[in-house]
């Protein structure tokens, strides 16, 4: 397999920009600068794929090139299964990944079907072709740590030490997110290459040679109130308890090992080199052992909380796995959403990301300026956009992410479309988001944990979200199961719009980027949350 990179520039082979955009974003997901294991079609999250297999990938590309402006391609768990005639307001691609009927929504059944070649794990933006590298998670992580700082440390993390595990595709954003907030971060990963990769991309400052060295570097920086991130090789299930036992002065504790999939978390006593083979040949035994190890790590996290630290689950289901291993206090610390993010969701605020199909970083610089111009009073947004411009190295097609709410996203989208029309950027802009959004997900261990009305597990909302985006003019729409928390634990939807500068695209973008965040407002108002945005949305039973 030769390397895949999205075509750049304004010459294209598909029958229209929306189709070309889908093709480029699929390819961009597999760019070696973007994907974790492009040769296996894995984009991020250990197993999150962009297409089911190589024949499926090539068939999707071929179909996208041939697809007419009133046709729609159907993708079933990474495989193209049909092309149907629809109409020009309809999405060009409809995607459903990893979905299983409830009683069969288990890892063993999923793996059985995956091995039969009948499904794939789509994660969130992997199988829906809008992953933009670690910037996506960096921004969310930055927001989360900023919220921790605001809640407990007067607005910044100077003089605090954060402990976390897992420096992979998503977790690798943590050290930079902490230092951007002025704090010190100690990050543990079993795999040195993962740490090294983050050093190479300036997300991580140093790798220590031992745990002792790591601790002394970290404590020194903390004492000097310097922003610094330190990586150390080790198993979090061992390192976390050791640090707790040694009484190291840690202020904030979280984790982003790939605990959502027990076959991706290294159990204590297993060599990293033996992991893949062991997980493949004895999945049940491996699962039992990794869960027991996770329970050890979670027990230490609860210990840190008992000792006064700010502890939260960062959306990888580690509490759920620890509970399965029999650790009763696993859910003693909260998920990050109820702890920090929910008030934003109630305003339809969530991840708004875009990429420049030209491949030209100047196009993103232009859109950055447009966003600063559109929302002059939003200080945190301005801080992020400026810092991102300085510190974020693009991966694959140049891209940007920030959080915008109801009444904001449509303005930004329409502005981008106007910029394309006027030639202020050199090619169309793709606008999408993560599935971790205000109204697009049901995930009782993460986005919908501890809803006010107890509606955590109700999955009507993400399905309505996908239907609404399909009915509003999105270019591609997806419904996924599992995502970051694993099989049986979430259902979520994604949408992507293409700003190609046409009037039709402008209308579609205005509708989609109004209705998509509106779903967040509706969902949260229905659950009893206050929303300043509720007045702008038509809510029948609230009239």
Ligand X SMILES: NC(=O)c1ccc[n+]([C@@H]2O[C@H](COP(=O)([O-])OP(=O)(O)OC[C@H]3O[C@@H](n4cnc5c(N)ncnc54)[C@H](O)[C@@H]3O)[C@@H](O)[C@H]2O)c1
Q: Give binding residues for NAD(+) as ranges.
A: 45-46, 123, 169-171, 189, 194, 235-236, 256-260, 265-266, 314, 484
**How many residues are there in the chain?**
543
Residues of this chain, 37-66, that bind ligand X according to CB under 6 A: 44-46
Among 11, 116, 273, 503, binds its own copies (CB under 8 A): 116
Closest CA to 528 of 463, 451, 462: 451
Q: Is 495 in the site for its own copies (CB under 8 A)?
A: no
Minimum gap (Å) between residue 80 Cβ and its own copies: 4
Q: Is 165 in the site for ligand X (CB under 6 A)?
A: yes
The whole-angstrom separation of Cα 260 and Cα 478 is: 21
Surface-to-core class of residue 89, CB atoms within 10 Å of its CB (0-12 exposed, 13-18 middle, 19+ buried): middle
Residues 470 and 94: beta-carbon distance below 8 Å: yes
Q: Is 358 in the site for its own copies (CB under 8 A)?
A: no
The whole-angstrom separation of Cα 55 and Cα 37 is: 17
Residues of this chain, 399-438, that bind ligand X according to CB under 6 A: 436
- Which residues sit opposite 350 in a β-bridge? 404
> What would the DSSP string read from start to end of 104-118?
G-SHHHHHHHHHTTS
Residue set of the binding site: 45-46, 123, 169-171, 189, 194, 235-236, 256-260, 265-266, 314, 484
Q: Of the two residues 424 and 456, which places its CB atom closer to its own copies in the complex? A: 456
Q: Which stretch binds ligand X (CB under 6 A): 80-88, 313-321, 360-368, 397-405?
A: 313-321
Enumerate the active-site residues: 402
Q: Is 188 in the site for ligand X (CB under 6 A)?
A: yes
Residue window 42-61: x/- pattern of binding to its own copies, with contact defined by CB under 8 A: -------------xx--xx-
Name the 3-class secondary structure at 463. Answer: helix
DSSP 214: H
The whole-angstrom separation of Cα 87 and Cα 291 is: 49
Q: Is 355 in the site for its own copies (CB under 8 A)?
A: no
Q: Is 175 in the site for ligand X (CB under 6 A)?
A: no
Q: Is 169 in the site for ligand X (CB under 6 A)?
A: yes
Residue 161 contact among its own copies, ligand X, none, beta carbon within 5 to 8 Å by kind: none
Compute how many other C-beta atoms are within 10 angstroms of the C-beta atom of residue 208.
18
Torsions phi, psi of 166, nearest 5?
85, 105
How is residue 24 written in tokens?
């480029």
Q: Is 160 in the site for its own copies (CB under 8 A)?
A: no
Q: Is 104 in the site for its own copies (CB under 8 A)?
A: yes
How is residue 174 written in tokens?
């943590």
How is residue 276 written in tokens?
């893949």
Name the 3-class secondary structure at 87. Answer: coil
The whole-angstrom separation of Cα 441 and Cα 420 is: 31
Residue 260 contact among ligand X, its own copies, none, beta carbon within 5 to 8 Å by kind: ligand X
Q: Is 514 in the site for its own copies (CB under 8 A)?
A: yes
Closest CA to 249 of 223, 211, 210: 223
Residues 437 and 385: beta-carbon distance below 8 Å: no
Closest CA to 238 of 278, 273, 190, 168: 190
DSSP 397: S
Residue 40 contact among its own copies, ligand X, none, beta carbon within 5 to 8 Å by kind: none
Q: Of the two residues 11 and 273, which places its CB atom closer to ligand X in the complex? A: 273
Residues of this chain, 464-493, that bind its own copies according to CB under 8 A: 464, 466-468, 470-473, 477, 479, 481, 487-491
Among 18, 45, 46, 91, binds its own copies (CB under 8 A): 91
End-to-end CA distance of the chain: 58
Residue 432 contact among its own copies, ligand X, none, beta carbon within 5 to 8 Å by kind: none
Residues 153 and 252: beta-carbon distance below 8 Å: no
Q: Which stretch binds its own copies (CB under 8 A): 138-146, 202-210, 381-389, 532-540?
A: 532-540
Q: Of the two residues 276 and 457, which places its CB atom closer to its own copies in the complex? A: 457
Minimum gap (Å) between residue 299 Cβ and its own copies: 23
Among 28, 29, 47, 77, binds its own copies (CB under 8 A): 77
Residues 167 and 187: beta-carbon distance below 8 Å: yes
Residue 457 contact among its own copies, ligand X, none, beta carbon within 5 to 8 Å by kind: its own copies
Residue 182 contact among its own copies, ligand X, none, beta carbon within 5 to 8 Å by kind: none
Name the 3-class secondary structure at 256. Answer: coil
Count of residues that bind its own copies according to CB under 8 A: 83
Q: Of the two residues 46 and 432, which places its CB atom closer to ligand X in the complex? A: 46
Surface-to-core class of residue 213, CB atoms within 10 Å of its CB (0-12 exposed, 13-18 middle, 19+ buried): middle
Residues 353 and 426: beta-carbon distance below 8 Å: no
Among 45, 444, 483, 501, binds its own copies (CB under 8 A): 444
- Tell me the angle at which helices 460-472 and 503-526 cross, rounded to the nearest 10 degrees: 160
Q: Which stretch binds ligand X (CB under 6 A): 260-268, 279-287, 320-328, 380-388?
A: 260-268
Q: Which stretch binds ligand X (CB under 6 A): 314-322, 365-373, 469-477, 490-498?
A: 314-322
How is residue 144 written in tokens?
């989360």
Please enumerate in sequence order all residues whose Cβ is within 8 A of that of 102, keeping only pairs 6 or more positions apart, or say none: 488
Residue 496 contact among its own copies, ligand X, none, beta carbon within 5 to 8 Å by kind: none
Q: Is 154 in the site for its own copies (CB under 8 A)?
A: no
Q: Is 265 in the site for ligand X (CB under 6 A)?
A: yes
Q: Is 194 in the site for its own copies (CB under 8 A)?
A: no
Among 15, 86, 305, 502, binds its own copies (CB under 8 A): 86
The whole-angstrom separation of Cα 335 and Cα 326 is: 19
Binding site for ligand X (CB under 6 A): 36, 44-46, 137, 140, 165-171, 188-191, 194, 235-237, 256-260, 264-266, 314-316, 436, 484
């Amino acid at each position: 397999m030769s390397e895949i990179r999205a075509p750049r520039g304004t010459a294209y082979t598909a029958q229209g920009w929306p189709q070309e955009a889908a093709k480029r974003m699929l390819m961009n997901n597999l760019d070696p600068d973007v994907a974790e294991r492009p040769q296996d079609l894995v984009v991020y999250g250990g197993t999150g794929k962009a297409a089911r297999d190589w024949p499926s990938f090539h068939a999707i590309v071929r179909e996208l090139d041939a697809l007419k402006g009133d046709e729609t391609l159907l993708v079933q768990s990474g495989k193209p299964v049909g092309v149907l005639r629809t109409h020009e307001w309809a999405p060009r691609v409809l995607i459903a990944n990893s979905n299983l009927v409830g009683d069969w929504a288990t890892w063993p059944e999923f793996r059985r079907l995956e091995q039969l070649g009948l499904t794939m794990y789509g994660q969130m933006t992997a199988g829906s072709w809008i992953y933009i590298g670690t910037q996506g998670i960096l921004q969310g992580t930055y927001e989360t740590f900023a919220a921790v700082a605001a809640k407990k440390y007067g607005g910044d993390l100077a003089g605090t030490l954060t402990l976390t595990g897992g420096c992979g595709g998503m977790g690798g954003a943590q050290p930079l997110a902490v230092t951007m907030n002025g704090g010190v971060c100690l990050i543990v990963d079993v795999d040195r290459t993962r740490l090294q990769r983050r050093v190479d991309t300036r997300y991580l400052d140093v790798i220590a040679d031992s745990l002792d060295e790591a601790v002394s570097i970290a404590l020194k920086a903390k004492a000097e109130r310097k922003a610094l991130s330190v990586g150390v090789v080790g198993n979090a299930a061992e390192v976390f308890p050791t640090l707790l036992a040694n009484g190291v002065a840690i202020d904030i504790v979280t984790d982003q090992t790939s605990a959502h999939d027990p076959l991706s978390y290294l159990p204590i006593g297993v060599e990293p080199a033996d992991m893949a083979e062991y997980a493949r040949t004895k999945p049940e035994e491996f699962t039992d052992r990794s869960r027991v190890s996770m329970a050890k790590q979670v027990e230490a996290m609860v210990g840190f909380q008992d000792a006064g630290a700010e502890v939260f689950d960062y959306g990888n289901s580690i509490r759920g796995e620890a509970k399965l291993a029999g650790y009763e206090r696993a859910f003693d610390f909260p998920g990050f959403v109820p702890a920090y993010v929910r008030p934003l969701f109630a305003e339809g605020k969530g991840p708004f990301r875009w990429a420049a199909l030209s491949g030209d970083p100047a196009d993103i610089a232009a859109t950055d300026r447009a966003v600063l111009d559109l929302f002059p009073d939003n200080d945190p947004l301005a801080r992020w956009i400026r810092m991102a411009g300085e510190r974020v190295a693009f991966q694959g097609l140049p891209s940007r992410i920030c959080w915008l709410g109801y009444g904001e996203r449509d303005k930004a989208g329409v502005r981008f479309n106007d910029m394309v029309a006027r030639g202020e950027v050199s090619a169309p802009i793709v606008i999408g988001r993560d599935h971790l959004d205000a109204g697009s997900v049901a995930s009782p261990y993460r986005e919908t944990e501890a809803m006010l009305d107890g509606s955590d597990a109700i999955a009507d909302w993400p399905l309505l979200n996908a239907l609404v985006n399909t009915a509003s003019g999105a270019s591609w729409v997806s419904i996924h199961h599992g995502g970051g928390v694993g099989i049986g634990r979430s259902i979520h939807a994604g949408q992507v719009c293409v700003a190609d500068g046409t009037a039709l695209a402008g209308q579609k973008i205005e509708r989609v980027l109004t209705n998509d965040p509106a779903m967040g407002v509706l969902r949260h108002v229905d659950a009893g949350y206050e929303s300043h945005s509720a007045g702008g949305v038509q809510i029948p039973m609230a009239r």
